[in-house]
Amino acid sequence: MTKRTGTRPERCYVDRGYRGHGVPDTTVFLFGQRRNVTSTIKKEFKRRSAIEAVIGHEKTEGRLDWNQLRGLLGDKVNALMAAIGYNLWLILKVLSFLRHFLKSYSSI
């Protein structure tokens, strides 16, 4: 992450299968850890859990399946297009709800 973004993370949230990090000045929190866990860290664990579910759905629905584009740029484009597709799906879902809500409200 430091190579890609140029900034060093202060905290990392990982699964229990993760062993050792070797990154100086970074605190690693294991999922299920009991010690040294504040309310902020608990909220960040919940956010991590929410993101993992979205990534899992994207992989199983085929959007983040085997990349047919070549190289590192192809990987980036594939992930970006999957994220765009997911966001458009969310927008269409909200618009559909609003359409049904307004249709039922106007008939009253």
CA distances for 43 relative to 5, 13, 59, 66, 88, angstroms = 24, 11, 25, 32, 27
Amino acid found at 89: W
Predicted local distance difference test score (pLDDT) of residue 8:
79
Q: How confident is the model at residue 108 (pLDDT cuts 50, 70, 90)?
A: low
Highest mean pLDDT among 20-24, 36-40, 85-89: 85-89
pTM of the full structure: 0.54
Predicted local distance difference test score (pLDDT) of residue 95:
94
